[in-house]
Structure 1
Amino acid sequence: MLKDFFSKKRKYATIPNEDSKIDIPEGLMKKCHHCNKIYYRKEMNKNMNVCPNCDYHHPLRAWDRIGSLFDEETLEEWDRDLTTTNPLEFPGYEEKVDKDRQKTGLQEGVVTGKGVMNGQETAFSVMDSSFRMGSMGSVVGEKITRAIENAKNESLPFIIFTASGGARMQEGVLSLMQMAKTSVAVKRFSEAGGLMISVMTHPTTGGVTASFASIGDYNLAEPGAMIGFAGRRVIEQTIREKLPEDFQTSEFLLKHGQLDKVVHRHDLKNLLTVLLSMHAQGRENA
């Protein structure tokens, strides 16, 4: 059976059912959770974690996304050493954060900084759902707020890539306060003439959706991303109606006027470059 996997003619195998077990060297292959095809991990990485068969957009790690968009020699990371404490003394919280640091190599669930994309310098924040599911705690909110303020002070546009399960429950009201703090920072940035582009990826939910993710000058999203505030089951129980199958997907939001565009990951860099250059020319001509 291993011969089939390593055959030049066959790049993937289908798992017929959950009980089937295939002995594959650890880390060599990756399964698409949408179509169940199995690929070489290198092949998926080369395709920016988009399934070559069904085009499903798997989550992309923060630094992988940054590397796909910005010139490496231009990158400057901000507030890397800003780390989470345990303000409410929630049991086991520090241990879970430390475990995620070791697993991801990140200090927190967002990377912020600035860099050059096709000749256009911009500030950025990139959330990573592999760190505490991208949940927004006080440090995540602080780093995003500082990034927006730095963009304002340096007269740079600001791009944010969101991926979050919502507010971080272990920090209680301190987490919820980040919704107001980040939104106020965006408001001040906008009043100063700043350009903000929000790119929502799978999943963008809860307090992140209800704050900075939805108030960009351009609100974009990747295909098939789940975007919403409350969960589907909660909404159905509240309104006592069955929701459409595509409810809370990026395509559903686009159809109902809540997004400007759904953009394939392979096309995103070109579109962002066009938007950045267009507004740069507008500032020069003003």
Structure 2
Amino acid sequence: MERRSKSGTAEADVVVQDGSGRTGDGARRAGGDDRAASGADAARGPRAKRGVPEGLWLKCDGCGATIYRKEAEEILNVCPQCGYHWYVSAAQRIGQLLDTGTFEEWDANLRPTDPLGFRDKKPYADRIVAEQKRTGLADAALTGTGMIRARRVACGVTDSSFIMGSMGSVVGERLTRLVERATESRLPLIIISASGGGARMHEGILSLMQMAKVSAALARYSKAGGLFISVLTNPTMGGVAASFASLGDLVFAEPRALIGFAGPRTIKATIRVELPKGFQTSEFLL
């Protein structure tokens, strides 16, 4: 198409048409918009790929298999391939063991203190507060009563997530009161141990004396004719294994649970001897 200028010379109109059918200035503007959009996309970078939601799968430490978390939870956090037992919190164990809605906690008001003003990497008082916030527990033991198939029992659980389940003054006191109430009420007693820390060094001799205190209460309970069932889970070590955890009328243990006094690495480093395979596991101790 031509048009005449005032001087009479012919000028050619440049006709530009884009894919949308727009021509001329509209197409040029559209092209600019497209370039701007492309630039914005480039600035944002490549679109993120959708990954697998975190925590959906578990890797078994026993056989290395990858297990769907929901599948493991349906069978009480046990690997369906090899029977490996994952960590279970004290609250979860209570839920697994007792009839739904029957648990009544005892001595929930007991709180640990720092009688020695102990400090390692940080003050013990600060460590207690941090552990309480992280775990939601007051200390490493949960005690109370509930029903199993409509039969009332006294029940205690230690939790390795709170300073490795170590036994300080509060843990010892709660367990002692648990045993004494079971004695008074003539209740069967179940204690599930998950204590890798033994006696809690932060409380010194006050912690060590809990071993004797709980054991003495169990002796009185046994003399009164009580039935004490002790369940050892991974890990059950140190002063806990050396006291109440080993005193059950019936003692059960998780498969491949670490059970003993000093840990295998400590023993190996001390006596410099290669230890037998599976040393200090529940199967080895049979």
Please indicate the TM-score interval, normalised by the length of the shorter structure: 0.7 to 0.9
Q: Could you say what secondary structure the match of 2:204 adopts?
A: helix
Q: How does 1:132-147 map to 2 (within 5 A)?
A: 132-147=163-178
**Structure-2 residue corresponding to 1:107:** 138
Q: Show the counterpart of 2:58.
A: 30
Q: 2:226 aligns with which of 177, 190, 194?
A: 194
Superposed, 1:54-203 pairs within 5 Å as: 54-91=82-119, 92-165=123-196, 166-203=198-235
Q: In the alignment, which of 247, 251, 259 is matched to residue 215 of structure 1?
A: 247
Which amino acid in 2 is paired with 1:228?
G
| Segment drifting more, 228-237 vs 45-54 | 228-237
Look up the equivalent residue of 1:163 and give its one-letter code: A
Distance 1:182 1:115, change over 3 A: same
Residue 84 of structure 1 and its aligned partner are, at CA, apart by: 0.7
Q: Deviations over 1:178-215 (max 9, x none)?
A: 11111101011111111111110000000001100001
Q: What is residue 273 of structure 1 aligned with on the other side? A: none
CA deviation after TM superposition for structure 1 residue 24, in Å: 4.1
**CA separation of 1:32/1:240 partners in 2, compared to 1, >3 Å: closer, same or farther?**
closer
Shift, 1:87, TM fit = 1.0
Matches within 5 A, 1:47-58: 47-58=75-86
CA-CA distance at 1:248 after TM superposition: 0.6
Say if 1:24 and 1:191 are closer, same or farther in 2 by CA, change over 3 A: same
RMSD: 1.8
Q: Could you tell me the TM-score, scaled by structure 2's length?
A: 0.77
> How far did residue 235 of structure 1 move?
3.3
- Larger mean CA deviation between 184-193 and 98-107 belongs to 98-107
Q: What letter corresponds to residue 203 of structure 1 in structure 2?
A: P
Mean Cα displacement is larger for which, 89-98 or 108-117?
89-98
In structure 1, distance between residues paired with 2:207 and 2:166: 9
Alignment pair present for 1:228 and 2:256: no
Task: Provide the residue aligned with 2:283 in structure 1.
Answer: 251
Counterpart AA for 2:144: G
* CA shift digits 1:112-157 (9 cap, x unpaired): 0111111321101111111111011110011000000010011101
| Deviation, structure 1 residue 234 | 3.8
CA–CA distance in 2 between the matches of 1:94 and 1:234? 28
Number of the residue aligned with 2:3: none
Shift of 1:237: 5.4
- Shift of the alpha carbon at 1:238? 5.4
Match of 2:101, SS? helix
What is the CA-CA distance between 1:227 and the residue it aligns to? Answer: 0.4
- Identity among equivalent pairs (%): 56
Considering Cα pairs closer than 8 Å and 6+ residues apart, tell me whether 1 or 2 has the greater RCO.
1
Partner-residue secondary structure (3-state), 1:72: coil
Query: What SS is found at the alignment partner of 1:89?
Result: coil
Alpha-carbon distance in 1 for matches of 2:125, 2:267: 33
Match of 1:262 in 2: none
Question: CA offset at residue 236 of structure 1?
Answer: 4.0
Greater Rg over alpha carbons, structure: 2
- Alignment-mate amino acid for residue 252 of structure 2: L
**Deviating more after overlay: 175-184 vs 33-42:** 33-42
Amino acid at match of 2:73: N
Residue number in structure 1 paired with 2:29: none
Unaligned runs of 5+ in 2: 1-49
- CA deviation digits over 1:32-78, x for unaligned, max 9? 22333333322222221111222111121111111111112321110
- What is the total number of aligned residue pairs between the two structures? 233
Alignment partners' CA distance in 2, 1:187 and 1:119: 27
